[in-house]
Structure 1
Amino acid sequence: MTTLEQTVLEGFSARFGKTPDSLWSAPGRVNLIGEHTDYNDGFVLPFAIDRRTLMAVRMREDRVIRIATSFAPDTVEIAIDAIGPDTVSGWSAYPLGMVWGTREFGASLDGVTGFDAYLESDIPVGAGLSSSAALESVFGLAVTELWGLGFDRQTIARIGQFNENQVVGAPTGIMDQSASLLGARDSAVLLDCRSLDASVIPLGLADAGLVIAVIDTRVSHEHATGGYAARRASCELGARLLGVTSLRDLTVDDLGRAEAELDDETFRRVRHIITENERVLETVRTLRDRGATAIGPLLDASHVSMRDDFEISVPELDLAVSTAQLQGAVGARMTGGGFGGSAIAVIAGSKVDALRAAVESAFADAGYAHPDVFVVTPSAGASREPLS
């Protein structure tokens, strides 16, 4: 039993006075490449990581759900029939909103019973590793199976996105939930966010002697506010002015027309999306043809585009990326929605300790908060876990 499993089982017993009868988990994710392309019907290439949210569950005989976590002092209690956009809030909106979402996607909850649930996680909150999608995914998978709702994983991901947009109020795309639900070991998930077609893409990191290091800047971000929504609005404006349904419909051949017809800021937002979609597909081709050692220039170019065209980086992220590059990373870029969070570096496993020391030194010299540097391993998606 892992420490996290032991913690969630002990937490459940302490909070509810009983033992759970099932255990579920869902991973956070790192996006290898493809940022802000998801809500533009584009392409993304995330992978599930070996940091997870665990949920212990015990079924009840009534129609009440009680959920708790060590991250919040109170136990949230609500009747199944009372769950809706106006009745859930705070951290519990992420999991509980999934119940309302299943109804909106056609599930009948007549006859189902409630449950007690206790959650623990080792996914850093605010690091851009999608702790929120892990909450939605573990809860969505559990209620789908426990209540026999029959949703496949792609639909659970859609419910998660719907919940985050409609209940939580964050205008996010479908990438995070898809990675958490569809991930596979030593692989990324190529997701077409228009068709929702997903393909597992082997990464081959171990064979190449490479790892993916996450540099958590400790600069927290909040997707439901400001910058993220403004970027989405710019993309929608650009698509409308260029006469397309979404920016997915444009290619690099359209950049000249876009520059002529759009104001500078909107053009740069559009250029990022168009070129980022191209970089995702080129990364997949490169992985297949030449392997992970050859993807570095695409990762580096992605960061420049996010820094200069989409303007979602911050000085801490730029310093993390440049330091990783100086330490011999194959490639590095910020990852996630931006305005804080983490950068990633594809780097030889033997260089991780030197990278950590260099990043810590650079951040200290700049007067920034102490960063956290750790390795993540591409891992399997959400699942029911055996109860020891």
Structure 2
Amino acid sequence: MPTKKPFVRVSAAALAVAVSLGGFGFQPSAMQAAENVSTSQTAISPSFLNDPLRLDLARINGKKDRVFGITGSYSYNPDSYEYYDLIAVEKQAYEVALDPNSSAALLAQVAQNYDQRLNAYMDRYLDKQNVTKSLATLYYILYYNVAKENIDNLDPQDRALFQLVLDTQAYWDNTNATTNQEHVDGYKIYLNAVVKLDDTETYKAQSYQDTVNRYRTGIQSQLANTPGGTDGHETSLALFERSASLLEQSASAGYNYNMVEMIKDDLERRYYELLDELKKDTTPAPTPVQNDKVQLQNRIDYAWTLMELPAGIRSGQTPQSAFGDLRRAIRKAESVYEKGSTAAEFKAAREELDGSIQVFVSRKKP
């Protein structure tokens, strides 16, 4: 599943100005509604989503989306345990929030974990520079491009958002904030307020329907190229369709913006997971030739690691001449790997290299 795209919500008017300033845009393509992927999936009424505990989870998810809008993704960094911890609890939050059978105790526990992981992530990856820049950019868009330097031109939602920006900047000034952590703490206060403001955000339901249609079309296209069709994928398809149905119903009924966005995030996750699952069925199993070639490559890689051992005539060392012999054996195996075409060739080369490796190891001084 791909990493999430950076996202920062501003009003439709502010976004339109930002797009025009950047000089980019999208050419809308005609999207036809796709048939349900799983016709046996019974639609679930979204009324349970109005539960306050689920709305708390949706607000935390909204904060996470805004933070990712600043930091991007740290998925490329294997040491970023805060990121992976956050993504793990994010998935759990989607599952329990969108399950009508989740208990109040479970919802509260997951919300607590989600908020803790998000705070840990913010403490590591947010700093004075990126949070002040984020709010300064939003200030510029709202005041100069939307309001035209007259805040009376802002609609109530944007005016409230603009005031939150001013309040946060004033908080930093009044508390004499200088360190990264002091600025991050102020930004956290801003986030808590802005996601509550998002509760009253209006949106176009059709944009969410377009998302559902696009994902359904993508799944149907992949199913058409999957030899077994839906066989073995019934559970994943049903879960995908459940999220799609919830998004359709909640958006068309004007449900809480944070909740609708959370359902959309979950649908995106299930879409890419399902695509990966279906693609595995279209990937042919490796042939015997491919298997033997891979095994030969593995032995070549291992042999090269032996070339890093200490050379010499003392105890624990290997004579220099042994390294020359092993290098020649590796080069010979590499030649077969590059030019060979049959399983027998690759297997014979691997066995010959194994013999050379054994000789090399035996020459190590006791």
TM-score, normalised to structure 2, is 0.22
Structure with bigger RCO (C-alpha 8 Å, 6+ apart): 1
More strand by share: 1
Q: Could you say which structure has the higher helix fraction? A: 2
TM-score after normalising by structure 1: 0.21
Which of structures 1 and 2 has the bigger CA Rg? 2
